Amino acid sequence: MHEIILELKGLDCAGCAAKIEKLTGDIDGVDGVNLDFVSSILKVKLIDESMSEIVVGQIRDIVGKLEPDVVISQRDEGVHDHGGIGKRDIVRILVGAALFIIPLLFKLEGAPRFIIYAIAYLVVGMDILIRAARNIIAGQPFDEYFLMSIATIGAFIIREYPEGVAVMLFYQVGELFQGMAVNHSRRSISSLLDIRPDYANLDRGGKVNIVDPQDVHIGDHIIVKPGEKVPLDGIIVEGNTSFDTSNITGESLPRTAMAGDRVLSGFINNEGLIRVQVEKEFGESTVSKILDLVENASSKKAPTENFITKFARYYTPVVVFTALAIGLIPPLFFGQDIRDWAYRAFVFLVISCPCALVISIPLGFFGGIGGASKKGILIKGGNYLEGLNDVDTIVLDKTGTITKGIFKVTSIDSYGKLSEEEVLELAAHGEVYSNHPIAISIMEAYGKDIDKSRIEDYVEVPGKGIKVNIDGQMVLLGNKQLLKDYGIEVKETKTIGTVIHIGMSGDHVGTITVSDELKEGVADSIRDIKSLGIHRTVMLSGDNSDIARKVGELVDIDVVYGDLLPQDKVEIFERIMKEGKGKVAFVGDGVNDAPVLARADIGIAMGGLGSDAAIEASDIVIMTDEIGKIVTGLKIAKNTKRIVTQNILFALGVKLMVLALGAFGVATMWEAVFADVGVSIIAILNSIRALKV
């Protein structure tokens, strides 16, 4: 599958964007298409890469017919232009306004009055008429240009010249302000994501050159000066400093760093000059992943967005035919004044544009996603942002999510045959080939070199532990079941933590207890999560049931499952999903949780950006390890949903009210213009509030 990415500079018509997306999807060889109106980016998936040039040519033809002023370019051809206020538009509006007031000032009548108004109409409305004609020829008539053209030409036919000109004039003024509002929203969102580094100071042989970050490779050394962004992920090899990490993690407190510490692209160097050895190419760096996740978020539209797109597709034709009925049925069947009812029909047409909904709702969701990214929460689509509002149950992994995942040996018990030091030595040799955090903590507690020549026949027993020969004797290290499988009687211990039972030569010779710490503030975060409408919290752990239960009690988790193998987690999670009334979210810390993250309605990866498996499997990536970020994400989701709902109710409410008034002859074209453009501007400005977290 091949994807082409095009930027449509100057695209400011949401209705036209929807048509371009639909017609592009109908092109032979196109397997999928998404046009994000907010960023003006068109992504097209092709069945065959060889068709790329043909498809791009057809897209240019489609855009040329519908939006001839839009400039199409490949994504990397230049900096995205958010547009500005067109001087020609302002001049046209001013000239049209001057011509509009001349007949009123000089009280012109007859032919002079008609001529001046006709010239004013053509000055302010010619581009609308041309666009309407183009769309009719292209077979896509039902849009705002068509509606405005029919309504205003109709006003001239029934000799309501001032209103015909006024509607077109104020429509153009409204479009100007609407364009400004949309561009302001786009700039606001872009500024939130302004984390891409412009350059890197590449150090080769003692000579420092300023280069594009894409020209730096793994193993190269770069210099980062105070005030500069770190351009690529790497390890500090020289220098000490502190970083502003808020671009990436959303945390305002500076983070100190020294030689040996890992740094991520997007961090801002506050103090000292440092040398960094690059670990990842620019395309795989943190900044690139974040930008890719956020920019691709628009392709996964929220159900509300999809509904409004379909709604607009049917709404406009229905309104057009309703207006036709209003204009014709009363005069033809009930002998009413045709001029009066025609006027009502034209008012009906002016009101009917769905622009307020089509523009403001995607802006609202993208604003919420942009605001969340600023707080270190990467949401991979509007559907997941909206879905957070429907979460009823949150299931959490224990280690690395609720606890720090940093294990320490807290007690060693010996049962006579060996001393405590010898028990620890035996365990360290038995765990030497394991990368499990518990094994690492035992090795750290032992703190001496391991003589691997003493070790033979190392075997991992899934879900139970390790069997190994040390100095010619069979040694077992693991849970109680492992020792019982080999007929060893297990001595009970009352310590709290993960207990590693050690058996040798048929006897239980000792136990080592390894404990994990709770993350700071996790109990408060769980309480806050519940206060936001989450009815049930569940913890799944592969750890000992007693330990898991104790941790659950400390942080007030409703239901706790322990002693789980990876397949058990999936099985229990499936059961939880069947029991839940709403959506079920799973919170895990990366690779081991990928199967459950993928199965969840909403998968949330904690601190998972370093794990490709977590990014692929999850729907939301939290840059830090804080459960408190889930609270922030839920609040952002609720705020975004509230803003989107406000826009829908406001836009439809005003339109339906004015439509009814227009049908009964109470509303004039002046009210109709407000119901169209005025409502759009207000809804767009309201959407900008979603950026504020």
- Token duo for residue 150: 């029919």
Task: Check residue 192 and give its pLDDT.
Answer: 57
Task: Check residue 79 and give its pLDDT.
Answer: 39
- Beta bridge mates, 409: 514
Residue that finishes a domain, picked among 58, 77, 96: 77
Residues 420 and 507 in one domain: yes
Residue indicated by tokens 């666009």: 131
Q: What sign does the dihedral 536-540-546-551 (CA atoms) show?
A: negative
pLDDT in tens, 373-412: 888 898 988 899 999 999 999 999 988 789 887 778 989 9
Q: What is the 3-state secondary structure (H, E, C) of 237-254?
A: EECCEEEECHHHHCCCCC
Residues 309 and 180 in one domain: yes
Q: Is 293 left (phi over 0), alpha (psi -120 to 50) or beta?
A: alpha
Q: Is residue 27 part of a domain?
A: yes
List strand residue ranges (DSSP E) for 53-144, in order: 71-74
CATH number at residue 72: 3.30.70.100
Q: Which helix (H) or strand (E) holds 44?
A: strand 41-46
Residues 603 and 668 in one domain: no
- Calpha distance 297→369 (Å, rounded): 8
Q: Is residue 210 part of a domain?
A: no
Q: Is residue 266 part of a domain?
A: no
Instruction: Give SS3 for 344.
Output: helix
Residues 50 and 184 in one domain: no
Query: How many Cβ atoms from other residues are within 10 Å of residue 3's Cβ?
Result: 12
User: Can you give the C-alpha Rg of the chain in angstroms?
Assistant: 33
Residue that finishes a domain, picked among 59, 77, 95: 77
Instruction: Give SS3 for 527.
Output: helix
- Apex 106 CA angle, 101 and 109, nearest 5: 95
Residues 505 and 536 in one domain: no
Q: Is residue 661 part of a domain?
A: yes
Residue indicated by tokens 């992504």: 43
- Apex 288 CA angle, 595 and 377, nearest 5: 55
CATH number at residue 432: 3.40.1110.10
Task: Check residue 185 and give its pLDDT.
Answer: 61
Query: How many Cβ atoms from other residues are within 10 Å of residue 342's Cβ?
Result: 21
Q: Which residues are catalytic?
A: 397
Secondary structure letter of residue 79 according to DSSP: P
How many separate domains does the chain show? 4
Instruction: Say if residues 30 and 24 touch (Cβ distance below 8 Å).
Output: yes
The answer for residues whose C-beta is within 8 angstroms of residue 495's C-beta and 6 or more apart is 410, 411, 413, 511, 513
The answer for residues whose C-beta is within 8 angstroms of residue 418's C-beta and 6 or more apart is 426, 504, 509, 510
Task: Check residue 203 and give its pLDDT.
Answer: 94
Residues 397 and 543 in one domain: yes
The answer for residues whose C-beta is within 8 angstroms of residue 295's C-beta and 6 or more apart is 39, 41, 193
607-617 burial, b for 16+ CB within 10 Å, e for fewer? bbbbbebbbeb
Q: Is residue 277 part of a domain?
A: no
- Token duo for residue 435: 């990368």
pTM for the model: 0.74
Task: Check residue 609 and give its pLDDT.
Answer: 62
Residues 397 and 523 in one domain: yes
Pairing state between β 583-588 and 559-561: unpaired
- Calpha distance 674→650 (Å, rounded): 13
Residues 345 and 392 in one domain: no
Q: Please give the residue range of the domain that contains residue 557.
A: 382-402+519-618
Pairing state between β 403-414 and 455-461: unpaired
- Calpha distance 352→358 (Å, rounded): 13
CATH number at residue 579: 3.40.50.1000
Interhelix angle 161-192/110-137, rounded to 10 degrees, is: 40
Instruction: Say if residues 370 and 294 touch (Cβ distance below 8 Å).
Output: yes
Residues 34 and 137 in one domain: no
Q: Name the nearest CA neighbour of 399 among 535, 230, 492, 514.
A: 514
Alpha helix positions (H), 375-495: 382-387, 420-430, 437-446, 480-485
Residue that finishes a domain, picked among 517, 537, 566: 517
Residues 361 and 304 in one domain: yes
Q: Is residue 269 part of a domain?
A: no
Instruction: Say if residues 339 and 166 touch (Cβ distance below 8 Å).
Output: no
Q: Name the nearest CA neighbour of 602 among 375, 402, 387.
A: 387
Residues 601 and 666 in one domain: no
pLDDT in tens, 351-366: 777 777 777 888 888 8
Residues 486 and 575 in one domain: no
Residues of the chain with pLDDT under 70: 1, 75-86, 181-182, 184-194, 250-252, 295, 298-299, 590-592, 608-614, 693
Q: Is residue 182 part of a domain?
A: yes
Q: Is residue 353 part of a domain?
A: yes
